[in-house]
Structure 1
Amino acid sequence: MKLAEYLDSTKTSQSAFAKRLGVSQGLVYQWLSGKRPISAEQCPVIERLTGGLVTCEELNDKVDWAYVRGTGPQANAQEAA
């Protein structure tokens, strides 16, 4: 689920969500409008706040989240060694 869909479906304002995250409403607006990417550091926080409905993979596709989570092929190969 996209962050905008989550906010709409839960009737959460940008301002209220920003407050829960400890960021400005303007930053949330920039994320939603595509003017600024969501940082890799914020993604896990957002995923937790949304109960997993909005995933890190949905928020930022520039990060290899499978590797970060320790579930990717490289992580599995290291465990097998």
Structure 2
Amino acid sequence: MKNESIQKAIDFFGGSQVELAKALNVSKSQVWQWLNNINSVSLEKIIMLEEKTNGFIRCEDLRPDINWCVLRSKKRIA
């Protein structure tokens, strides 16, 4: 089963795993692994992805197990 959020990110970058990889400074094989749920996306790359897509892909979409509102409120305070 494909990771729908990663597929949405690929689609955002023109349907290209290569373009998503370039945007996040990772290899195409890393994107493929995320897409196919072989590896998880690191927190650093999740945050970067949200920033590069201007919120089209949200951190919550990729890692709903993390309480992002706590992290977001700390970011606003800092």
User: TM class, shorter-chain normalised?
Assistant: 0.7 to 0.9
* Aligned equivalent of 1:7, options 6, 10, 17: 10
Paired with 1:53 and 1:39, the residues of 2 have a C-alpha distance of 18
TM-score by length of 1: 0.74
Identity of aligned residues (%): 31
Q: Does the Cα contact within 8 Å between 1:37 and 1:60 map onto a contact in 2?
A: no
Give the match for residue 25 of structure 1: 28
Q: Report whether the alignment pairs 1:43 with 2:50.
A: no
Paired with 1:23 and 1:10, the residues of 2 have a C-alpha distance of 14
Shift of 1:8: 2.6
Paired with 1:14 and 1:23, the residues of 2 have a C-alpha distance of 10
Amino acid at match of 2:25: G
Amino acid at match of 1:61: P
Structure 2: gaps (5+ residues): none
Higher gyration radius (CA):
1
TM-score by length of 2: 0.77
Q: Report whether the alignment pairs 1:58 with 2:61.
A: yes
Give structure 1 regions of 4+ aligned residues with deviation exceeding 3 angstroms: none
Structure ranking higher on relative contact order (CA contacts 8 Å, 6+ apart): 2
Structure 1: gaps (5+ residues): 72-78
C-alpha root-mean-square deviation of aligned residues, in Å? 2.2
Amino acid at match of 1:55: R
